[in-house]
Amino acid sequence: MNLAVFGTPDGGLLVGEGPFEALAGPPENGVAFYRNDFALSSRAPWFVPCKVEQFERGAFPDHLSSDLPEIEWEDPEVDPFAEIFTEVSDSIRSGSIEKSVPVVTARGRLAKGTCEGLCQILAAGADPLRPYGWIDGKEGVVGLSPELLFQLDAGTLHTMALAGTARLEEREAFGVDEKEIREHEFVAQTLLSKLSDLGATTRHPREIMDLGRLVHFHSGIDVELTEHESIDRLVRILHPTPALGPLPRTVETLSQLIGWRQRLGCPLWFGSPFGLWREGAFEALVAIRMISWRGKEVQVPSGCGVIEESRLVNEWRELRLKRESVRTAFGV
């Protein structure tokens, strides 16, 4: 099975079936899916399906409507993360970075059913989460992302700053938490700085996004582009978002982060751009809140922004909360 799924703004799904034609750039017409890894290493990240179907909210292809799988989970140990957390904190104290985002991954093994059954959850339409998925033979990924990398339509770019996390019951205190606000402002101000050269920017007020069990700070940002910009260039400007990447973002600090991710066993696709090109308009999600699998091996990654005020026990708790929210959303 070869399949790509992208949630549309109206709550429906656009489903492309393979085999896919891989291209270096988007086609002039029609539909293509954009998929790259976190390091943007693919030279042909555009995938043109042989068949496309549009489904309304709640609907999904019949041949994917199977039972949810049963997965035996093994939670990650804290020691490897604690080692990386110390290295990140040392780098912050030395002044080489202000922030970085290590990723911890919980692993499981398929005990019953198939992971393709997780795809039915993508049709549920749980706003503001946007569903996405990619299945390639015996491996795949499904996710419900709250984060838009960017939307490009008629010369206007829409993006967002999404950073700062708390449990729903902590919402009131979260709204005035200086550490969480500072982390969010790191992200928002960095985005504004990156985008200011592209055109007139408008930042919308910081709000709290409710994701059920979790809440995040959210600020919308719009840019009226002064010139035509290629999607590839915009992806490289905006990815990784400051919420998932290092600050400042340089070749050296990004390489450092990728090294930390590798040591912690982070899936290559976590936090990467996943997009849809349709008749000249483009929209890309940040591939987070995901479950990935290869054969019977299943993974749920989660990341946390480490800044000077961060404390190990709090970040470890945040990582667990994010993983639990994903497993709850997918019924596993």
Which residue, chain included where needed, has tokens 């998932």?
A: 244
**Which residue's entry shows tokens 């693919």?**
42
Lowest-pLDDT range of 72-86, 110-124, 292-306: 110-124
DSSP string, 6-29: EE-TTS-EEEEESSPEEESS--SS
- Quick one: average pLDDT of 190-202? 92
Span 131-185, pLDDT tens digits: 999 999 999 999 999 999 999 988 899 999 998 888 889 999 999 998 889 888 8
pLDDT at 14: 95
Per-residue confidence (pLDDT) for residue 65, from 0 to 100: 61
Judged on CB neighbours under 10 Å (0-12, 13-18, 19+), 162 is buried
Q: Name which residue leads in pLDDT, 203 or 211.
A: 203
- Res 63 pLDDT > 70: no
Q: Please give the model's pTM, rounded to 2 decimal places.
A: 0.92
CATH superfamily, domain 2-329, is Anthranilate synthase (3.60.120.10)
Q: How would residue 64 be classed by pLDDT, with cut points 50, 70 and 90? A: low
What residue has token string 């896919």? 20
pLDDT in tens, 12-22: 899 999 999 99
Instruction: Using alpha carbons, select from 199, 192, 265 the residue that is nearest to residue 228.
Output: 199
pLDDT value at position 61?
75
Residue 271 has pLDDT above 80, yes or no: yes
Specify the range with the lowest mean pLDDT, choosing from 63-67, 97-101, 198-202: 63-67
Average pLDDT over every residue of 234-253: 92
Q: How many CA atoms lie within 13 A of 300 on its CB side?
A: 26
| Mean pLDDT rounded to a whole number for the chain | 92
- Could you give the percent of the chain with pLDDT greater than 70? 98
Backbone dihedral angles phi then psi of residue 166, each to the nearest 5 degrees: -155, 165
User: What are the extents of the domains in the chain?
Assistant: 2-329
At residue 112 the predicted structure's pLDDT band, cuts being 50, 70 and 90, is very high
What are phi and psi for residue 106, nearest 5 degrees? -85, 140
The H or E element spanning position 227 is none
Higher pLDDT, 120 or 225: 225
267 preceded by a cis bond (ω within 30 of 0): no
**What mean pLDDT do residues 222-241 have?**
94
Q: Is the distance from CB of 77 to CB of 266 less than 8 angstroms?
A: no
| Angle subtended at Cα 38 by Cα 36 and Cα 43, rounded to the nearest 5 degrees | 40
Structure tokens at 305: 């922004």
